[in-house]
């Protein structure tokens, strides 16, 4: 008997390794150029320019709301009844916080924070009430252990008032979720890569899920004719694979689902070489494939299995925590550095004509163009906003004050305002000018994976900079090395790594060898 088909296993790790092998190679002259979107696809992309809220982020915010509600109910209870003389608001507050955390934990274990549960609160009402009651009993027991018993009227106020408020909040949340789902506010935007019958089967499988948060924005395929018609299961084919990258960026796509057979490994690999530079989840639809899955390699949309090939960096709460990190440390830095910034501004203005600040267009997150601020370091009439000609040692375009500012990196301090505006992060790949190049070639012509740096926000400082890769990029080796360090940072990101880079930056800036 022949070996069953399910024993054949797609090696996702092998695909990733093959992609990584070609990350730093120089593209061959025969490779296809960047292709612009056709008018119809661009019109569709414009409809999705607004950022959506992912279910994971929404659920996290709702957990916080219920935790605050528990604390408010407990606080209101403390205002009712006659408490023991030993009552202490400090001790009671700590007890309330512990009970609130326990309640949220029980609600999480009981699966009451799933989107279907929030959408239809009646199905989970008894689980919610039991968990909330356990939290209230825990609050009462801890109060008694601490030496002050909870009056009966205070207990009833907490239990009845808190439960009523909780049920009302759950009902309002269900209404809000249905409204957000209808209006596209709460969804994961997806594009199906590949057409024909596999794409049609995938669409039907996704639409059959009762609680589906996937919004299919279109289909992209290189083929035409009967093998890949212009409309698949009611969704239009918007263009070719070459047009997909720009569409995904404009439409703020969250997920790319490849609807190709697993046996087409070479075709999948060619796609991954184009698509992995995007800040999106990349999945291989496996609903129609008889494969033996590795547990860590797949996820599900409802009951539809997906093989996880690449994950979006800094997703959901990671992005929230990094943004909070940026705001906090930027404000601290501004509070400490404002006298230095004023001194720099006076020095620039007093020693040469022109504005204090220099604004340059650079590539930001998702390859969008942003305006980055710097203290002006060049003579105004000799400045080069395009950065086609890199600054070199003893460059006559740089003012004496500008030379000091560049060597000490004080010219970068105004970028703290870019961080507060959300255009930059404190730590990340350094943003390069839109037309920056080494010699007569743009960076993307030297290293194919260059635009993968833009899967996260660029930073004021980064992993490459604290490892000696700052200053002029005058050779292919330097841009390849910087790109490799940037990709290493993206793949290994953590708040601890950001903190390490941030605190090492002032020390490493003492090395001014390559800073001109």
Q: Residue 484 pLDDT more than 50?
A: yes
Q: Give the ranges where 227-316 is alpha helix by DSSP (H).
A: 241-250, 265-275
Average pLDDT, the chain: 80
Burial of 164 (0-12, 13-18, 19+ CB in 10 A): exposed
Contacts 24+ apart (CB under 8 A), 293-297: 293/9, 294/9, 294/12, 297/12
Domains of the chain plus CATH, in order, are 55-182 (no CATH), 187-310 (3.40.50.20), 317-508 (no CATH)
Q: Rounded distance, CA 485 to CA 428, Å?
A: 10
Q: Residue 245: what pLDDT? A: 84
- The more confident residue out of 505 and 272 is 505
Q: Across residues 493-514, what is the average pLDDT?
A: 83
Q: Rounded distance, CA 18 to CA 282, Å?
A: 16
Burial of 138 (0-12, 13-18, 19+ CB in 10 A): middle
Residue with tokens 């054949």: 8
Q: Rounded distance, CA 188 to CA 115, Å?
A: 13
Listed in sequence order, the residues at least 6 apart from 225 whose beta carbon sits closer than 8 Å to its beta carbon are none
Token representation of residue 222: 């290189």
Q: Across residues 466-481, what is the average pLDDT?
A: 76
Q: Give the ranges where 251-290 is alpha helix by DSSP (H).
A: 265-275
Q: What is the pLDDT of residues 381-403, one digit of tens each?
A: 877 776 667 676 777 888 888 88
Q: Rounded distance, CA 307 to CA 13, Å?
A: 11
Q: Residue 3: what pLDDT? A: 39
Token representation of residue 488: 């290493």
Half-sphere exposure of 59 (CA within 13 A, CB side): 17
Half-sphere exposure of 124 (CA within 13 A, CB side): 23
Lowest average pLDDT, out of 80-84, 108-112, 268-272, goes to 80-84
- The more confident residue out of 21 and 5 is 21
Q: Residue 29 pLDDT more than 70?
A: no
Q: Residue 221 pLDDT more than 70?
A: yes
Q: Residue 516 pLDDT more than 50?
A: no
Q: Residue 82 pLDDT more than 80?
A: no
Q: Rounded distance, CA 66 to CA 170, Å?
A: 9
Q: Residue 274: what pLDDT? A: 79
Q: What is the pTM of this model?
A: 0.74
Chain CA centroid to CA 230, Å: 32
Listed in sequence order, the residues at least 6 apart from 439 whose beta carbon sits closer than 8 Å to its beta carbon are 474
Q: Rounded distance, CA 358 to CA 427, Å?
A: 21
Q: Residue 40: what pLDDT? A: 83
Nearest Cα neighbor of 70 from 96, 35, 32 is 96
Q: At what angle do helices 241-250 and 39-46 cross, to 10 degrees?
A: 30
> What is the number of residues in the chain?
516
Q: What is the pLDDT of residues 284-333, one digit of tens each?
A: 887 655 555 555 556 777 677 788 888 888 877 788 889 999 999 999 99
Rounded to the nearest 10°, the torsion over CA 51, 52, 55, 56 is 0
Contact of 299 with 308, CB cutoff 8 Å? yes
Q: Across residues 431-455, what is the average pLDDT?
A: 76
Greatest mean pLDDT range, 105-119, 173-187, 209-223, 264-278: 105-119
Please give the span between the terminal C-alpha atoms of the chain, in angstroms, as a whole number.
71
Contact of 338 with 421, CB cutoff 8 Å? no
Q: Rounded distance, CA 486 to CA 484, Å?
A: 5
Question: Could you tell me whether strands 235-239 and 281-285 are parallel, antiparallel, or unpaired per DSSP bridges?
Answer: unpaired
Q: Rounded distance, CA 67 to CA 256, Å?
A: 35
Burial of 328 (0-12, 13-18, 19+ CB in 10 A): exposed
- The more confident residue out of 16 and 115 is 115
Q: Rounded distance, CA 137 to CA 143, Å?
A: 10
Q: Rounded distance, CA 302 to CA 205, Å?
A: 9
């Amino acid at each position: 008997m022949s070996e069953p088909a399910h024993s054949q296993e797609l090696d996702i790790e092998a695909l990733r390794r093959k992609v990584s092998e070609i990350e730093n190679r120089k593209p061959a002259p025969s490779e296809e150029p960047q292709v612009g979107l056709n008018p119809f696809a661009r019109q569709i992309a414009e409809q999705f320019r607004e950022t959506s809220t992912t279910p994971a982020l929404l659920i996290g915010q709702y957990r916080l709301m219920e935790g605050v509600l528990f604390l408010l109910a407990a606080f209101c209870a403390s205002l009712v009844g006659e408490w023991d003389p030993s009552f202490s608001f400090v001790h009671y507050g700590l007890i309330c916080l512990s009970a609130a955390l326990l309640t949220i934990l029980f609600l999480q274990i009981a699966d009451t924070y799933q989107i279907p549960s929030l959408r239809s609160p009646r199905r989970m009402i008894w689980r919610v009430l039991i968990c909330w009651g356990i939290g209230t009993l825990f609050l009462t027991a801890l109060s008694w252990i601490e030496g002050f018993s909870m009056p009966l009227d205070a207990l009833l106020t907490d239990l009845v008032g808190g439960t009523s408020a909780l049920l009302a909040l759950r009902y309002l949340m269900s209404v809000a979720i249905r409204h957000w789902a209808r209006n596209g506010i709460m969804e994961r935007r997806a594009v199906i890569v590949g057409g024909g019958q596999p794409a049609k089967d995938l669409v039907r499988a996704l639409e059959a899920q009762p609680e589906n948060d996937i919004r299919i924005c279109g289909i992209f395929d290189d083929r035409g004719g009967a093998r890949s018609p212009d409309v698949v299961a009611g969704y239009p084919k918007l263009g070719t694979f070459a047009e997909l990258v720009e569409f995904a960026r404009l439409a703020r796509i969250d997920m790319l689902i490849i609807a190709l057979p697993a046996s087409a490994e070479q075709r999948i690999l060619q796609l991954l070489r184009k698509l992995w530079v995007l800040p999106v989840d990349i999945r291989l639809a496996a609903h129609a494939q008889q494969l033996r899955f590795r547990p860590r390699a797949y996820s599900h949309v409802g009951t539809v299995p997906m093989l996880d090939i690449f994950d979006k960096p800094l997703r959901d709460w990671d992005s929230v925590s990094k943004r909070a990190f940026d705001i906090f440390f930027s404000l601290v830095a501004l509070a400490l550095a404002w006298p230095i910034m004023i001194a720099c501004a006076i020095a620039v203005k007093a020693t040469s004509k022109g504005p204090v600040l220099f604004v340059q267009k650079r590539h930001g997150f998702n390859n969008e163009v942003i305006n980055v601020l710097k203290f002006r370091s060049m003579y105004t009439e000799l400045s080069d906003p395009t950065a086609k000609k890199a600054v070199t040692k003893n460059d006559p375009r740089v003012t004496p004050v500008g030379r000091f500012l560049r060597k000490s990196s004080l010219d970068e301090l105004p970028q703290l305002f870019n961080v507060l505006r959300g255009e930059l992060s404190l730590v990340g790949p350094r943003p390069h000018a839109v037309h920056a190049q080494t010699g007569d070639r743009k960076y993307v012509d030297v290293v194919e994976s260059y635009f993968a740096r833009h899967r996260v926000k660029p930073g004021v400082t980064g992993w490459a900079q604290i490892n000696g890769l700052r200053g002029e990029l005058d050779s292919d080796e330097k841009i390849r090395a910087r790109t490799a360090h940037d990709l290493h940072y993206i793949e290994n990101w953590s708040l601890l790594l950001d903190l390490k880079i941030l605190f090492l930056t002032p020390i490493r800036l003492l090395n001014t060898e390559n800073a001109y």
